[in-house]
């Protein structure tokens, strides 16, 4: 049996909102990424206070001081007037013609990180966190309508592959299309790629 099938985040960890009490009790998370580490350890609580984003943590059951993974979510919408026509069909492919509108409700993944202490070894913690979020917003208990999960993914091969293997698609097929729509100058880097997951589609 593969090792990845032996590890289930739901049985090995406890999910909870990231509060000041949790932050004071737990060890700071280290994702081996300065941007993620700085956000989760220094900025996430501010976002919560200002109601700009809600962060959730998965702590290890056997040692609740250890944070295994974190995610920050915020309300968002996909506004069609801000999308190039060449990408509209890619986004709306699964939406009934009579239900297509000017914008669609979405949830934004602001940050997603897995502790370097628990990364690898077939655990797939990041993918399991995404599976939880997908189920959460598909649930009948969800309090709002939400059609898409969206993310501005770091434009590097590892990050893009991670989201693609979890069912996310880039809104623009190529970097050139996205750069053109954003009107980036040749010397300006395309730091992120806009990606989406359609919650209606399995």
Q: What distance in Å separates the CA atoms of residue 82 and residue 113, rounded to the nearest whole number?
A: 28
Is 136 exposed, middle or buried, given 0-12, 13-18 or 19+ CB atoms closer than 10 A?
Answer: middle
What pLDDT sits at residue 57? 98
- Three-state DSSP state, 34: helix
- In tens, the pLDDT along 129-138 reads 999 999 999 9
What pLDDT sits at residue 97? 60
Q: What distance in Å separates the CA atoms of residue 192 and residue 5, rounded to the nearest whole number?
A: 31
- In tens, the pLDDT along 160-192 reads 999 999 999 999 989 998 999 899 999 999 999
**3, pLDDT greater than 50:** no
Bridge partners of residue 151, in order along the sequence: 109, 195
Supply φ then ψ for residue 185, to 5 degrees: -75, 155
Kindly state the percentage of the chain with pLDDT values over 70. 90
Half-sphere exposure of 79 (CA within 13 A, CB side): 4
What pLDDT sits at residue 202? 64
* Segments in the chain forming alpha helices (H): 9-12, 20-25, 34-38, 44-49, 85-92, 125-138, 157-165, 175-182
- In tens, the pLDDT along 37-90 reads 999 999 999 999 999 999 999 999 999 999 999 999 999 998 877 677 767 777
What pLDDT sits at residue 176? 92
What pLDDT sits at residue 96? 62
Predicted confidence band at 118 (pLDDT cuts at 50, 70, 90)?
Answer: very high
Give the pLDDT mean for 9-19: 96
Q: Which residue do the tokens 């990180």 mark?
A: 113
Distant-in-sequence, close-in-space partners of 116: CB < 8 Å, separation ≥ 6: 30, 31, 32
Q: Given the DSSP bridges, would you call strands 103-114 and 148-154 parallel, antiparallel or unpaired?
A: parallel
What are the tokens at 186? Answer: 């040749």
What's the whole-model pTM score?
A: 0.88
**93, pLDDT greater than 80:** no
Architecture of domain 3-198: 3-Layer(aba) Sandwich (3.40)
**5, pLDDT greater than 70:** no
Supply φ then ψ for residue 55, to 5 degrees: -105, 140
What pLDDT sits at residue 91? 72
What pLDDT sits at residue 4? 43
Cβ atoms 175, 155 nearer than 8 A = yes
């Amino acid at each position: 049996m593969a090792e990845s099938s032996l590890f289930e985040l739901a049985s090995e960890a406890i999910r909870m909102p990231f509060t000041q009490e949790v932050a004071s009790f737990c060890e700071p998370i280290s994702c081996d990424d300065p941007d993620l580490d700085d956000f989760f350890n220094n900025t996430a609580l501010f976002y919560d206070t200002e109601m700009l984003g809600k962060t959730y943590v998965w702590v290890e059951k056997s040692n609740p001081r250890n944070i295994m993974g974190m995610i920050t979510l915020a309300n968002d919408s996909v506004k069609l007037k801000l999308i190039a026509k060449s990408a509209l069909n890619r986004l709306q492919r699964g939406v009934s013609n009579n239900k297509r509108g000017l914008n669609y409700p979405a949830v934004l993944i602001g940050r997603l990180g897995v502790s370097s202490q628990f990364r690898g070894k077939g655990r797939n913690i990041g993918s399991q966190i995404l599976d939880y979020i997908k189920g959460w917003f598909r649930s009948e208990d969800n309090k709002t309508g939400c059609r898409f999960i969206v993310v501005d993914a770091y434009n590097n091969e590892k990050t893009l592959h991670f989201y693609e293997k979890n069912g996310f698609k880039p809104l623009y097929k190529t970097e050139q299309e996205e750069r053109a729509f954003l009107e980036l100058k040749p010397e300006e880097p395309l730091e992120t790629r806009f990606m989406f997951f359609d919650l209606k589609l399995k």
